[in-house]
Amino acid sequence: MEYSIFMVLNADKISQQCLPKHVAIIMDGNGRWAQAKNRPRVYGHKKGVDAVRHSVQFCTKLKIESLTLFAFSSENWHRPEDEVSTLMELFLYVLSKEVKKLHKNNVKLTIIGDLSRFSEALRSKVDAAHQLTANNTGLQLNVAANYGGRWDMTNAAKQIAKQVAAGALNPDDITEQDLAAHMSMHDQAEPDLLIRTGGDLRISNFLLWQAAYAELYFTDTLWPDFNEAAFADAIACYVARERRFGCTGEQIKQLLAET
């Protein structure tokens, strides 16, 4: 179903409350986009950076609070060595060149994931980016690098286990909130909308805990072609859905009528 961008950008039709507070995106299709143009896969990754810029600008326009991008999964290390190397170089380049622009536009950047496997130079750039943008109050941009949802939950479980071992927490008293407090992005709203580009219909170990109630949106559009109009289609589809969180549709309608 096609959705007009004006459905999203027209403030008279859609209020800010209808829009997602947090959007997460699995950026898939860079390699296939490049191969379709008889170019090396790494060319697609470089063009994908442009789509990142467009997405950040789009979320800023709509005053979306958080945008989380799946840049490099823990499984991506199994890709060809030259592709992984190029991705690392591209990541370093983007951190060097783009962070100042993000800071100028009041964007707060956070890299989530296990950074221990990255080079010292890359970790240093990440630390510098965090420090530079830490006090910004605009869009919260999270970039998942060497990230996996199972890693995230395992890491949280380890933190809980340490508290139990230290006698600070009784195992019988452990709650979902205790575990959630140790997850990545625990200080942000959970994703309302999870988008995957590239045509595959899976979430690939991304935000397994945080996206428990996220609306899922899959598109055949390859990531370098995911422009403002494509993003608007995803948002408009989200707005058109009825989110019930375990309630009935009538209960939701009654709640809306009372607010």
Per-position DSSP letters for 157-177, written without gaps between them: HHHHHHHHHTTSS-GGG--HH
Contact 175, 136 (CB under 8 A): no
Of 38, 76, 114, 200, the catalytic one is 76
Residues 11 and 19: their CA atoms lie apart, in Å, by: 11
Q: Which of 56, 224, 49 is nearest to 140 (CA)?
A: 56
Of 10, 12, 28, 127, the catalytic one is 28
Neighbouring residues of 166: CB distance < 8 A, sequence distance ≥ 6: none
How many helices and strands (H and E) does the chain possess? 9, 6
What's the full length of the chain, in residues?
Answer: 259
Residues 191 and 185: their CA atoms lie apart, in Å, by: 10
Residues 234 and 215: their CA atoms lie apart, in Å, by: 10
Measured over all CA atoms, what is the biggest interatomic distance in the chain, rounded to whole angstroms?
Answer: 60
End-to-end, the C-alpha distance of the chain in Å comes to 30
Neighbouring residues of 175: CB distance < 8 A, sequence distance ≥ 6: none
72 beta partners? 145
Q: Respond yes or no: is residue 187 known to be catalytic.
A: no
User: Which residue's structure tokens are 């995803």?
Assistant: 234
Q: Respond yes or no: is residue 28 known to be catalytic.
A: yes
Strand order in the sheet with 215-218: 108-112, 140-147, 66-73, 22-26, 193-196, 215-218
Q: Which residues are catalytic?
A: 28, 76
